[in-house]
Amino acid sequence: MAPLSNLLAFAEDLARRAGEITLRHFGKPIDFHRKSDLSPVTVADRQSEEFLRAEIARRFPDHGILGEEFGAARPDAEWQWILDPIDGTKAFIRGVPLYGVLVALEQRGESRLGVIHHPALRQTASAEVGRGAFLNGEPIRVADAANREETLILLTNPATLFQRRPAFYIELMKEYPLQRTWADCYGYTLVASGRAQAMMDPIMNRWDLAALKPIVEEAGGVFTDLRGTPTARGAHCLAATPKVHAEILALLRAFGD
């Protein structure tokens, strides 16, 4: 088994190369169809994941793989690669450059390293547990804003949060008026690099979460579900600076479900 640092370099290289595959289709008209959960999928999603899976299987044939498009292989293996070939397919289809390729490695269910690569931006956020978080090789840290008026809260789709927790979302808007939808995995890159203070999603899957958790936590942030449980296997997510995380979690408990 290679040292984790070598595995992180491998994961970063994989994500960048998969990103080049997505760029062949980016910014051009592209067909898509709806999966059973109504989320879109394109040929770029499939080609990206096929590449990732083939390279991992060639290098680590005993490792498991879970990908959004092609499911699980060797699910009982100690080491599991968790893949989202295009996080933000809705954005990708529309030519929005904030989508990403997510690659994570779990050991016995715990994320040990994660990579968020934004191909169109040429930005790569990555982390290995215990060794810090980086953006294009430079160390990154979460950062609080001077006050709540300048605290940036990010949501992939505010309508979804409002539909599920209307009282909480109304209170969130009152307390934090600066909100944007720089969404999907890009929001977590912004939090980890100190340019936003919180990112939340009320609907998530394992392949959405696994790469994000080590990056946010190694950057000094807090990564939990909306109930405050530290996990990369939940159905929703809140990533933030420690201060803002505590404040938002208090609002969720007071005004949530």
Lowest mean pLDDT across 27-36, 66-75, 184-193, 246-255: 27-36
**Same domain? 47 vs 96:** yes
User: Do the beta carbons of residue 90 and residue 40 sit within 8 Å?
Assistant: yes
Asked whether residue 125 falls in the same domain as residue 23, the answer is yes
Model confidence pLDDT, tens digit, residues 218-232? 999 999 999 999 999
Of 113, 136, 159, the domain-final residue: 136
178 and 216 together in one domain: yes
Residue 24 is given by DSSP the state: T
80: how many CB neighbours lie within 10 A of its CB? Answer: 24
Question: Which of 95, 111, 136 represents a domain boundary (last residue)?
Answer: 136
Domain region containing 249: 148-255
On whether both 28 and 103 belong to a single domain, the answer is: yes
Q: Regarding beta strands 32-34 and 153-155, do their DSSP bridges make them parallel or antiparallel, or are they unpaired? A: unpaired
Query: Which CATH number covers residue 42?
Result: 3.30.540.10
Digit-coded pLDDT (tens) for 84-134: 999 999 999 999 999 999 999 999 999 999 999 999 999 999 999 999 999
Arithmetic mean of pLDDT, 33-41: 84
pLDDT beyond 80 at 193: yes
Do 13 and 104 fall within a single domain?
Answer: yes
Domain count, the chain: 2
Q: Please tell me whether residues 19 and 127 are part of one structural domain.
A: yes
Same domain as 132, residue 156: no
Identity of residue 209: L
What is the CATH number for 165? 3.40.190.80
Q: Which helix (H) or strand (E) holds 19?
A: helix 4-23
- Nearest one of 155, 158, 149, 174 to 255, comparing CA atoms: 174
Single-letter amino acid code for the residue at 156 = T
Alpha helices in 117-184 (DSSP H): 158-164, 166-175
Q: How far apart are CA 63 and CA 11, in angstroms?
A: 14
